[in-house]
A and B are shown apart, each in its own frame.
Chain A
Amino acid sequence: MLVLGMCPTLGTTTSALNGMGMGLATLVVLTLSNIVISAVARFIPDKVRIPSYIVIISAFVTIIQLLMQAFLPSLYETLGLFIPLIVVNCIVLGRAEAFANKNTVLDSACDGLGIGLGFTLSLTVIGLVREILGSGSFFGWNFLQGDGILVFVLAPGAFLVLGLLMALFNKLTQGRA
């Protein structure tokens, strides 16, 4: 199993909504950068390809950051630092390097959407598990009075949930690979 983009996965998934917000922001950046990079890849000499990709990706991230700050201030406050960090998310650069620069614009857009949706889904699931166990709520709706198992909202809980979900995933996909 390939494990990429761990920093936002562990950092932002304290609730399902935060995980989803982060996933969607990454999805938008990933799709847009895939489209642009696949369109301009043949005009970029090989030796400056990584800096060019990074410039394109960071431009999109900054645009998303400004838009989110203006129109979704509450989400921006919770995600804060993790938005600029999308620039160095290995998934985004990884897809640019492994897929977008060799394929057509349409294929790259689909690739970005697919990978982005998968990332959003996994962040939402991790966030949901942590939110249910840690704060006793479901997408912000409290079904439990008082605190849950606090460790799940803190950093160690992220590792625990991630490990358990990966174990589950491996169990489910066993024998198929």
Chain B
Amino acid sequence: MEKLESSLKNMLISLGGIALVCALLLSVVNALTEKKILKVTEAKTARAIAKVLPSYGGATIDTTVTLGGESFKVHKAMADDTTVAGYAIETSTAGFGGPLNLMVGFTSEGRICSTDVISHTETPGLGAKITDASSHFRTQFESRNPAEFNLAIKKNGGDVDAISASTITSQAFTSAVAKAYSVYLAASGNGADAVSSATPQAGEGGSDEAN
């Protein structure tokens, strides 16, 4: 069985043909899986929202808030057509090992409902302890109002107990929650006059609501 000669024509035809067939195959698979992947991603977001706003089931209104050059996804849980029951806000910061993505739930009065780690790359056994939702580090945020609870770890003069040996991760988690709070203030608007005195950063980042 003789191999094809390496002439320019043969090379172009064979490599081009292979690339074409592969591209066709990929577009078919992509078309088949696209919807399913989208559904999986949506289900994941919905699960995270359900975790951080446990008392509000049902659909959410999704908006995007831009604050300080970053855009954040805000999921509003509606009590009825006009009243917002709570906000689930996606934030991210740089953790110790890479990006740290959180979902933070706020009640309509601005109390933190609960937090959920969407994805992280922290050190297993040390920083990765932030994923343990029943730990003191995670529960200490629950039902706190950041207006009277300084969102910084104690070493940096705040009120949050850090995880021992994971100061950077703890600080990253805490500042992500603080970021979510500024987004909450921008998104809710009504919370601004009640609590803005304690959080000067809320007024600084020009906020505009899109979508």
The reply to whether B119 and A66 contact each other, CB–CB distance below 8 Å, is no
Task: Give Cα A26–Cα B14 distance, bound, in whole angstroms.
Answer: 26
The smallest C-beta distance from B120 to any residue of chain A, in angstroms, reads 11
Determine the interface band of chain B, counting residues with CB < 8 A from chain A.
Answer: 20 to 34
Choose among A44, A69, A70, A77 the residue that contacts B4 (Cβ–Cβ < 8 A): A44
Q: A-B pairs with the 6 shortest C-beta distances?
A: A59-B22, A70-B36, A45-B6, A47-B6, A150-B125, A70-B33
Task: Give Cα A70–Cα B44 distance, bound, in whole angstroms.
Answer: 12
Chain A contributes a number of interface residues (CB within 8 A of B) equal to 30
Contacts A/B (CB < 8 Å), 21 sampled: A42-B3, A42-B4, A43-B4, A44-B4, A45-B5, A45-B6, A45-B14, A48-B6, A48-B14, A52-B15, A55-B19, A66-B29, A66-B33, A66-B37, A67-B29, A70-B33, A70-B37, A73-B44, A150-B124, A150-B125, A153-B125
Task: Give Cα A67–Cα B34 distance, bound, in whole angstroms.
Answer: 10
Task: Give Cα A147–Cα B36 distance, bound, in whole angstroms.
Answer: 36
Task: State whether A45 and B33 are in contact (beta carbons under 8 Å apart), knowing that A55-B18, A73-B40 are contacts in the complex.
Answer: no
Whether A56 is near chain B, meaning CB under 8 Å from some CB there, is: yes
The smallest C-beta distance from B71 to any residue of chain A, in angstroms, reads 23
Whether B30 is near chain A, meaning CB under 8 Å from some CB there, is: yes
Interface of B is mostly: helix
Residues of A with C-beta under 8 A to B22: 55-56, 58-59
Whether B133 is near chain A, meaning CB under 8 Å from some CB there, is: no
Output the nearest chain A residue to B12 by Cβ-Cβ distance: A48
Task: Give Cα A79–Cα B1 distance, bound, in whole angstroms.
Answer: 41
A-B contacts counted at CB < 8 A amount to 77
The smallest C-beta distance from A32 to any residue of chain B, in angstroms, reads 11
Pick from B5, B26, B119 the residue with the most CB of A within 10 Å: B26
The reply to whether B15 and A55 contact each other, CB–CB distance below 8 Å, is yes
Whether B79 is near chain A, meaning CB under 8 Å from some CB there, is: no
Residues of B with C-beta under 8 A to A55: 15, 18-19, 22
Whether A120 is near chain B, meaning CB under 8 Å from some CB there, is: no
Task: State whether A69 and B37 are in contact (beta carbons under 8 Å apart), knowing that A44-B4, A150-B125 are contacts in the complex.
Answer: yes
Whether B11 is near chain A, meaning CB under 8 Å from some CB there, is: yes
The smallest C-beta distance from A129 to any residue of chain B, in angstroms, reads 15
The reply to whether A70 and B6 contact each other, CB–CB distance below 8 Å, is no
The 8 A CB mask of A143-159 against B (1 = contact, 0 = none) is 00001001001100000
The reply to whether B124 and A135 contact each other, CB–CB distance below 8 Å, is yes
Residues of B with C-beta under 8 A to A71: 36
The smallest C-beta distance from B48 to any residue of chain A, in angstroms, reads 13
The reply to whether B25 and A63 contact each other, CB–CB distance below 8 Å, is yes
Task: Give Cα A60–Cα B29 distance, bound, in whole angstroms.
Answer: 10
The smallest C-beta distance from A45 to any residue of chain B, in angstroms, reads 4
Whether B126 is near chain A, meaning CB under 8 Å from some CB there, is: yes
Task: Give Cα A135–Cα B3 distance, bound, in whole angstroms.
Answer: 53
Task: Give Cα A134–Cα B126 distance, bound, in whole angstroms.
Answer: 12
Whether A9 is near chain B, meaning CB under 8 Å from some CB there, is: no
The reply to whether A46 and B19 contact each other, CB–CB distance below 8 Å, is no
Whether B143 is near chain A, meaning CB under 8 Å from some CB there, is: no
The reply to whether B4 and A45 contact each other, CB–CB distance below 8 Å, is yes
Residues of A with C-beta under 8 A to B11: 45, 47-48
Whether A14 is near chain B, meaning CB under 8 Å from some CB there, is: yes
